[in-house]
Structure 1
Amino acid sequence: MLVFSWSLVALLLTSSSCAEEEVAATEEDTSRELSVGALLERANRDRTPDIDEPTLIGGDIAIKSWADRNADPCTTSGCLWGKWSDGKVYIPYYIASHFSSREQAIITRGLESFSSVSCIRFRPYQNGDRDWLSIESRNGCYSYVGRLGGGQTVSLSHQGCLYHSTVQHELLHALGFNHEQTRSDRDNHIQVYWENIMDGMDYNFYKIDTLNQGTPYDYNSVMQYEKYAFSKNNLPTMMPIPNSNVSFGQATQMSKNDIDRLNRLYKC
């Protein structure tokens, strides 16, 4: 009877593992079909934040107070992460233990993707670190913009946030970048259809005095949302100009321009 019991347990564990792998495969297949903007909107659509979680603007940008909703910390001092004497920018991080090994691998891959294209080096948190990223599964996908000081949360929820594109997107926020559609020169490249935006959500399209690093507007940026973002009637809220047929908001990873402006911002 004992042998039979252990065999049954082993069978159940194997079945559970296979089921988890099937779910993971399904999520990965879905991510190949969805842009980062669509993934973020889906993950945050019905978000119910805990009392200790921040207000979000732009879908996934955390702010300390409502007064900060139109501010760009990187236009002032203190936003950037510091550079060391070897020319590298080391950013400590801590990955919460509630992530599975597979989820940790996705996060780690996103962290490591910066080292091959820039001077950014994410490294595990060590005692004595004053500033660091605390990567947790909270309610939805979100990050603050730039370095705040101390530990700051980057939320990558188990429910819909654990994809390479969303990890890169949130880390770029933490490095100091806003969404592409809020760029100061947005109106030269994107027409916003205010009448199609959800009531009370128009502030998500307000322009910010962004640091564009001398790079062109990038329709393929991993920071560009897709045309139906925050739509209340299934009509576009954004369209490219002057050519409305240009594809945009479909990125699944950092573009060349994303990488260029990152390197310019941090003088890599």
Structure 2
Amino acid sequence: MDLKIRLALFASHFYFSISFPIQVNTEQSYEGVAFPESEEESVFSLILKSNKGSKTRLYEGDITPKRHRNAIVCPFNWCFWPKSSNGLVVIPYVISSSYTNEEKALIVGAIQEYETLTCIHFVDRTTETDYIYIEAGDSCWSYFGKVGGSQVVSVRKGGCMRKGIIQHELNHALGMLHEQNRNDRDKYVVISWQYISPGDFYHFKPTRANNLGLKYDYSSVMHYHRFAFSNTSGKATITPFHDSTVPIGQRFGLSNLDVAKINKLYKCVQCGKTLTAMNGKFESPLYPSHYPLLTDCAWIMIAPEGSKISLTILSFLLEDSFQCQHDCLVIYDRGTITARSEGKYCVNDIVPGFLSSGNSVLVQFHSDYFLQYFGFQAEYSFSKYEGSKERSVI
């Protein structure tokens, strides 16, 4: 056997034997695990509920131990999905035909958010050997990173059919870890071992991963919820270290730091963020100075259910081009690129005020390789609608 191959296999075996030691109790069982109603809507609590009684052997609640990988520190970058010469990470995928059209649309919507906010592009598989197969299994789970061949991401019908859960499992497939298992987690959270059964201790084992120089994210879609694996109803197993009232775990989807970690891990050149504050402003890069060339940014505004979003462009000056083929600003209702575009603007267009039809809006900014201008600044606010009357949610 070639020496390089032998060394690679040794390094891989050595790392995984350290990071994922053999556990005495690896049987899948959630008997005695408390699921308080106050946490029932967080991503991980829903995952644990859906996985209760699953026949699939899982680690940390939703990761299959077969072919364990950690893409952030995997030897020789074997666990990364490859990057194309155009700067995109193209991942072929197939959605099981057992899903309904509505369920498929939900999965596609969750996938498209990656394309909007990162350089990860999921494309329909044709003949590719390595691809993700999203199947309606008996639970919610994934592998770590790229493992090769037909790689299952299990999204159970019913309990797993949430955008946040789908993105949680896809993040594992991209190589993202559970946030509270970072190697520096004890600076940010307290683990209450007295409320965790000994057989579940291994779910909370810190990993030796590179944290990418980004701060701890209590709101990550990859964070366990406060009562994860608790064996005593009402007793938290995870408590924020400096402020016990800080919310942890959520159900909506990718946080801004989740997006930043993906972009840093895959060296994506992206800008923009998810906006969930009740009101705020955002602007083109470097505003009011000239924006950079070859830039793509996206801002997704997500209001509470039953709310609508008011968007106003405060200032605007982009490169002139026929039908805005070069630099442009595009607004999409309902927060996805598959939705109808509400307008494409450039030059010094007067952008009309916009009110969403639902609780999400997507704004995309693009600049090409030629001219630079001052860009734009925008403000938004969320409003609650009751019948025909509008009232602020602030």
TM-score, scaled relative to structure 2:
0.56
Query: SS in structure 1 opposite 2:91?
Result: strand
Runs of 4+ more than 2 Å apart:
71-74
Contact 1:221-1:251 at 8 Å conserved across structures: no
Q: What's the secondary structure of 1:106's corresponding residue? A: helix
Distance in 2 between residues matched to 1:145 and 1:244, nearest whole Å: 30
Q: Which residue of 1 aligns with 2:138?
A: 139
Cα distance between partner residues in 1 of 2:208 and 2:158: 33
Q: 1:266 to 1:73 in 2, by over 3 A?
A: closer
The residue number in structure 1 matching 2:48 is 41
User: Per-residue deviation at 1:72?
Assistant: 2.8
| Paired residues of 2:91 and 2:120 also in contact (CA < 8 A) | yes
1:150-161 equivalences under 5 Å are 150-161=149-160
Measured after TM superposition, the shift of residue 156 of structure 1 is 0.3
Corresponding residue number in structure 1 for 2:168 = 169
Q: CA deviation at 1:159?
A: 3.1
**Which of structures 1 and 2 has the bigger CA Rg?**
2
Aligned equivalents of 1:101, 1:60: Cα separation in 2 = 25
SS in 1 for 2:263: helix
What letter is aligned with 2:232?
N
The AA in structure 1 aligned to 2:244 is S
CA RMSD of aligned residues (A): 1.7
Report the equivalent of 2:305.
none
- CA distance in structure 1 between the aligned counterparts of 2:70 and 2:80, rounded to whole angstroms: 12
Letter in 1 for 2:65: I
- Deviations 1:78-135 (CA, angstroms, capped at 9, x unpaired): 01100001000000001111111111011111111100101000001111x1210010
Is 2:115–2:121's contact at 8 Å kept on the other side of the alignment?
yes
Distance change in 2, residues 1:89/1:184 (3 Å): same
Q: Is residue 71–residue 174 contact of structure 2 (8 Å, CA) maintained in 1?
A: no
Deviation at 1:139, TM superposition (A): 1.3
1:111-260 aligned at under 5 Å gives the runs 111-127=111-127, 129-234=128-233, 235-260=235-260
2:130–2:148 CA contact under 8 A, matched in 1 = yes
Structure 1 position 195, deviation (Å): 1.3
Secondary structure of the structure 2 residue equivalent to 1:62: coil
Whole-angstrom distance in 2 between the partners of 1:34 and 1:246: 16
Comparing 233-242 with 72-81, greater Cα deviation is found at: 72-81
- Name the counterpart of 2:66: 64
- Structure number with the bigger relative contact order (C-alpha 8 A, sep ≥ 6) is 1
Query: Alignment partner of 2:81: what SS?
Result: coil
Once residues 106 and 244 of structure 2 are traced to their aligned partners in structure 1, the CA distance between those partners, rounded to angstroms, is: 35
Q: Is the 8 A contact 2:70 2:79 kept in 1?
A: no
More strand by percentage: 2
Distance, in Å, in 2 between the alignment partners of 1:36 and 1:141 is 11
Q: How many residues align?
A: 228
Measure, in 1, the Cα distance between the counterparts of 2:40 and 2:55.
26
Query: What SS does the aligned partner of 1:267 have?
Result: coil
Q: Determine what percentage of the aligned residue pairs are the same residue.
A: 38
Q: Report the Cα offset of residue 211 of structure 1.
A: 2.4
Indicate the structure with greater helix content: 1
Q: What 5-or-longer segments of structure 1 have no aligned partner?
A: 1-29, 50-54
- C-alpha contact 1:215 1:261 (8 A) present in aligned 2: yes
